[in-house]
A = this chain, B = another copy of it.
Amino acid sequence: MMIEPNQPLPRTNSGSDLKTVLNKEGFRLTSQRQKILELFRDIALDHHLSAEEIHHQLVAQGEKISISTIYRALHVMVRLGLLQELELAEDRKYYELSTPFTSHHHHLVCVQCGAVQEFEEVSISDVGVGETQTRGFVLLNSQFTIYGVCPLCQSRLRS
């Protein structure tokens, strides 16, 4: 970890391009960072990727980029509020585009097969907003994750 240029900040996602957002915080626009963000913009809004997966995808499409760079870029983008970091069980972290919508979408994970389903629930985000306000916190992110066993795995286990 390093991410020096500055201190954390509540959210910096409003109308401005990547370069502006980065420079504002002392970061620089690089082709690698553009590629990573483009990748996220090419897939479904609510789709999540791990560092490894991002690396695979980019290499597959001919880009020359190091896994270290992926990790560094992910940190920066989370810090800038461009991406959200997800703890979908397992051992690795996942990332998804941070839009006004994603803050209302949550995850249901099957601990057997690892399948992840998304679902919307505004009331949950509301709780997060309220809770941080009453305690004087600056809200950065919140996530509601449910762990369970999906129907398929249930029958698979019974057999």
> Quick check: A131 and B146 within 8 Å, CB to CB?
yes
> Quick check: A137 and B157 within 8 Å, CB to CB?
no
> Quick check: B108 and A135 within 8 Å, CB to CB?
yes
> Quick check: A136 and B151 within 8 Å, CB to CB?
yes
> Quick check: A132 and B157 within 8 Å, CB to CB?
no
Query: Can you tell how many copies of this chain the complex includes?
Result: 2
> Quick check: A131 and B145 within 8 Å, CB to CB?
no
Contacts A8-B112, A132-B108, A143-B144; A150 near B137 (Cβ below 8 A): yes
Task: State A131–B150 Cα separation when bound (angstroms).
Answer: 12
Measured between beta carbons, the chain B residues less than 8 angstroms from A128 are 144, 146
Cβ of A124 < 8 Å from any Cβ of B?
A: yes
What count of chain A residues pass the 8 Å CB interface test? 36
| A contact set with B: CB distance below 8 Å | 7-8, 87, 89, 108, 110-112, 117, 119, 121, 123-124, 127-128, 131-132, 135-151, 154, 157
> Quick check: B140 and A149 within 8 Å, CB to CB?
yes
Measured between beta carbons, the chain B residues less than 8 angstroms from A149 are 8, 137-138, 140
